[in-house]
């Protein structure tokens, strides 16, 4: 079995806004899983919050969306497309995430068309849900 692609082989994102470090499972157009390892000196920890660094919840949602984009862009039907956020629903934050933590990201795509789609995902921390949300996205030409 061939190794999974690197996130930067599918996503247009680049540091410091590339939040997926590794793809661990992939069914193109269906689902994807991966890891985000939070380094101690990540840019957002310095100001959120001084003395008690905490991963902003919105960045967990972005990481979940990036995992969804990997599932989508791995599907040949969507070659040459760029998925953009169209909406975020039912976002819930259940666990504090701090420097040194590793988040397991999981996304399943739902209804898809040539122009838009939906998905649902979660970020897991040591086997417990840290964040979960539903995603809506639109597809534009890259």
Cite the active site residues: 48
Sheet containing strand 81-93, edge to edge, reads: 22-27, 31-37, 102-112, 116-125, 128-141, 81-93
Sign of CA dihedral 28, 29, 34, 39: positive
**What token pair was written down for 70?**
């990997």
């Amino acid at each position: 079995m061939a190794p999974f692609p690197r996130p930067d082989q599918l996503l247009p994102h680049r540091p410091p806004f590339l939040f997926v470090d590794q793809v661990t499972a992939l069914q193109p157009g269906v689902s994807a899983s991966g890891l985000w390892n939070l380094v101690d000196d990540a840019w957002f920890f310095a100001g959120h919050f001084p003395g008690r660094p905490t991963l902003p919840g919105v960045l967990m949602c972005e990481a979940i969306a990036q995992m969804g984009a990997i599932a989508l862009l791995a599907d040949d039907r969507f070659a040459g497309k760029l998925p953009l956020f169209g909406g975020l629903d039912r976002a819930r934050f259940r666990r504090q995430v701090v420097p040194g933590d590793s988040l397991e990201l999981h996304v399943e795509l739902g209804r898809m068309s040539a122009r838009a789609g939906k998905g649902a995902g979660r970020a897991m921390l040591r086997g417990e849900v840290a964040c979960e949300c539903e995603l809506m996205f639109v597809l534009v030409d890259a």
